[in-house]
Amino acid sequence: RARRAGRATYSFFAEEMNARITSYRIRIDDIRRGIANQEFVLEYQPRFDTHDRRVLSVEALVRWLHPEKGLVGPGEFIDLAERSGLIIPLGEWILNTACRTIAAQPHDIGVSVNISPVQFRGGTLLDTVEKALARSGLAAERLELEITESVLLDNPDEIRPILQRIKSLGVRLAIDDFGTGHSSLSYLRSFPFDVIKIDRQFISDMVVQDGGRAIVHAILSLGKALGLGVIAEGVETEQQFEMLASDECKEVQGFLLARPMPAPDLGKFLDRSPIVSGRQTSDVRLLS
Ligand code: C2E
Ligand code: MG
Ligand code: MG
Ligand code: MG
């Protein structure tokens, strides 16, 4: 009986495993097909100056316009794209598209692009970044790469020189979802970051939890002490916005001010924005 039960259990797991492997393969193929068919699109979420709500830059966020499933968020496919290595060609497309789209805007805003840890392992990231800048004509100073803390833990001694070379192009480096990883503070300092992005969990805790605001305050102080910019992400309410403004957080991003939007809407959004960063704006300001 025990043997039978054992075998039954085994075959049950074997079947389940087969099913999993099959759907895994299908989905990798699906991503590969999606890349070949150009089904991926980028949305752009503006980042604002806290003082005057002027748009400083945008974050590029990938979506999949799937022929059957409709609009699919990155949470559904980034992990698989990473495990299959397809994040390398996909990430290259994302960098090229983000740089080209923002270089084509009449406003001088910056763009920030999320980079997966896996893109550091391919050995081609520096080259990909240089090419994206050269092809688009975007000034390196207008590009920022967002990297999560887990990247640093992966293989710090390999990653540090890559980051340094990218930074020496003039590209800015931001640490994304700050406070959610496991890297130590002194460790962070040994990497050439320009910006800290406070994870949105801390922003939501700020108004509902004792000590929540103290944590945000501490991150802001840390940024100041290390000479790093700090941006708060996931700002959803006026109350959060006001707290961040009075705590001297200079930059914010979140649904309160703007949701991620497709490129054509971004153009319209920037045209409507009272003040936009860059040449155009300063010209307008000089005239008025
Ligand atoms: P992330 O880089 O931390 O991006 C911020 C996420 O928070 C985005 O979700 C954005 O839509 C969402 N968000 C922005 N403001 C608010 C807000 O006020 N409230 C709430 N609840 N959410 C807000 P999204 O687009 O689903 O992206 C999720 C994650 O997927 C990103 O987190 C990033 O880690 C990854 N990702 C997105 N695009 C790319 C990409 O092009 N390449 C790579 N490697 N990863 C990407
Ligand atoms: Mg990000
Ligand atoms: Mg984030
Ligand atoms: Mg995130």
Query: Which ipTM did the prediction report?
Result: 0.98
Quick one: pLDDT at residue 2? 43
- Report yes or no: 105 and 263 within 8 Å, Cβ to Cβ: no
Whole-number Å distance between alpha carbons of 236 and 211: 19
Quick one: pLDDT at residue 88? 97
> What spacing in Å lies between the alpha carbon of 114 and ligand 2's midpoint?
5
> What spacing in Å lies between the alpha carbon of 79 and ligand 1's midpoint?
13
Quick one: pLDDT at residue 287? 38
- Report yes or no: 270 and 284 within 8 Å, Cβ to Cβ: no
CB atoms within 10 A of CB 123: 11
Instruction: For residue 55, report the phi and psi dihedrals to the nearest 5 degrees.
Output: -80, 120
Nearest residue (by CA) to ligand 1, atom 43, is 114
Q: What's the pTM?
A: 0.89
Quick one: pLDDT at residue 21? 54
Using a 6 Å cutoff on CB, does residue 240 contact ligand 1?
Answer: no
Give the chain's radius of gyration (CA, Å).
21
Quick one: pLDDT at residue 207? 87
Quick one: pLDDT at residue 23? 60
Using a 6 Å cutoff on CB, does residue 117 contact ligand 1?
Answer: no
Quick one: pLDDT at residue 282? 39
Quick one: pLDDT at residue 151? 80
> What spacing in Å lies between the alpha carbon of 110 and ligand 3's midpoint?
17
What residue has token string 């967002």?
Answer: 146
Nearest residue (by CA) to ligand 1, atom 4, is 61
Using a 6 Å cutoff on CB, does residue 211 contact ligand 1?
Answer: no
Quick one: pLDDT at residue 275? 57
CB-based contacts of 270, cutoff 8 Å, min separation 6: 46, 55, 105, 106, 107, 109, 276
Quick one: pLDDT at residue 154? 74
Quick one: pLDDT at residue 61? 98
Nearest residue (by CA) to ligand 1, atom 7, is 234
CA atoms within 13 A on the CB side of 110: 20
Q: What is the largest CA-CA distance in the chain?
A: 89
**Structure token pair of residue 142:** 């207008």
Residue count of the chain: 288
Quick one: pLDDT at residue 268? 93
CB-based contacts of 29, cutoff 8 Å, min separation 6: none
Return the HEC string of the chain.
CHHHHHHHHHHHHHHHHHHHHHHHHHHHHHHHHHHHCCCEEEEEEEEEECCCCCEEEEEEEEEEEECCCEEECHHHCHHHHHHHCCHHHHHHHHHHHHHHHHHCCCCCCEEEEECCHHHHHCCCHHHHHHHHHHHHCCCHHHEEEEEEHHHHHHCHHHHHHHHHHHHHCCCEEEEEEECCCCCCHHHHHCCCCCEEEECHHHHHHHHHCCCHHHHHHHHHHHHHHHCCEEEEECCCCHHHHHHHHHCCCCEEECCCCCCCEEHHHHHHHHHHCCCECCHHHHHHHHHC
- Report yes or no: 251 and 234 within 8 Å, Cβ to Cβ: no
Residues of the chain with pLDDT under 50: 1-7, 10, 279-288
